[in-house]
Structure 1
Amino acid sequence: MRFLNLSKKGVAIVLSAQLVLATQAVTMAQAEMLGTDQAINKYTALANRNALMDQIQRDDVQAEIVALGIDPAEAEARLAALSDAEIATMLTQMENDSAGADIVGTMFTIFVILLVTDLLCLTRVFNFTRCVR
């Protein structure tokens, strides 16, 4: 019976010590307020990184990377190492440098050039214009 009491005391002491240690680890966590701007910036940066990673994993991009003599795995590793600002800059450049992206502006410029040449009697494209002569 005495052995049973000792084993109960031993188990109680071990469980008490474990409980104290477990609660000490939990109290070390700290929380702080996270602003809306910070949360939006965090998820925007994550979305930008994922969009760029999706672009680099396309088959035509992979073929071009290999043609340039670059290992695709190394390119992905370097892309993962970029900062959020560098990724945002790269995406902005990709959007601005797209071929044929400003088709409306190009069509308007061509229309104005043809209109002026019709008014100067150099061409006869539009029926609604009259020569200046």
Structure 2
Amino acid sequence: MNGIRRHLKQFSLVMAILLAFATTVSVSAHAGMVGTGELIQQQQVDLDRQQLLSMLETQEVKDKLAQMGVSEDQVAERIQKLTPAELADFEQQLAQAPAGEGVVGVIVLFLLVFIITDMLCATNVFSFVKCLR
């Protein structure tokens, strides 16, 4: 019986130390209000990304990208990595493009994304584009 009590005392000492450690190191959560504007902005960014990705699905765009030696997966990955500001700028340029440009305008905009990501050292698709770093 004394052996069990001696082990019980050691066990309770270890548990007390663990409890003290756990209460001092605990992380508190912070809650904040999410504004409607922030929520709408995030949904707009997601919608813009989906619109660009849907443009990739047209056969004309796929053929043109294949002629240039760029895979559809590379384009989709880069679209996912665009910041909201870059995405908004890209969408604005696409909206200002003449309606008759069609596929050529989309391809030019995709190439612009490639060049920007090459300049930012995120990719290395074009050898003539030098990294800014």
- Give the TM interval when normalised to the shorter protein: 0.5 to 0.7
Aligned residue for 2:49, secondary structure, equals helix
Q: Which residue of 2 aligns with 1:69?
A: 69
Distance across 2 between alignment mates of 1:54 and 1:14:
59
Change in CA separation of 1:52 and 1:5 when aligned onto 2, cut-off 3 Å: farther
Q: Which residue of 2 aligns with 1:52?
A: 52
Instruction: Report how far residue 98 of structure 1 moved.
Output: 6.0
- Percent identity over the alignment is 26
Q: Which residue of 1 aligns with 2:99?
A: 99
Equivalences, count = 98
The gaps in structure 1 that reach 5 residues or longer are: 101-133
Q: Which residue of 2 aligns with 1:107?
A: none
- The two structures have a TM-score, normalised by structure 1, of 0.54
Distance across 1 between alignment mates of 2:63 and 2:6:
73
Compare CA radii of gyration and give the structure with the larger one: 1
Change in CA separation of 1:22 and 1:46 when aligned onto 2, cut-off 3 Å: farther
Instruction: Report how far residue 81 of structure 1 moved.
Output: 2.4
Relative contact order higher in (CA < 8 Å, ≥ 6 apart): 2
Q: Is the 8 A contact 1:53 1:79 kept in 2?
A: yes
The gaps in structure 2 that reach 5 residues or longer are: 101-133
Instruction: Report how far residue 84 of structure 1 moved.
Output: 0.8
- The two structures have a TM-score, normalised by structure 2, of 0.54
Distance across 1 between alignment mates of 2:37 and 2:46:
14
Q: Which residue of 2 aligns with 1:81?
A: 81
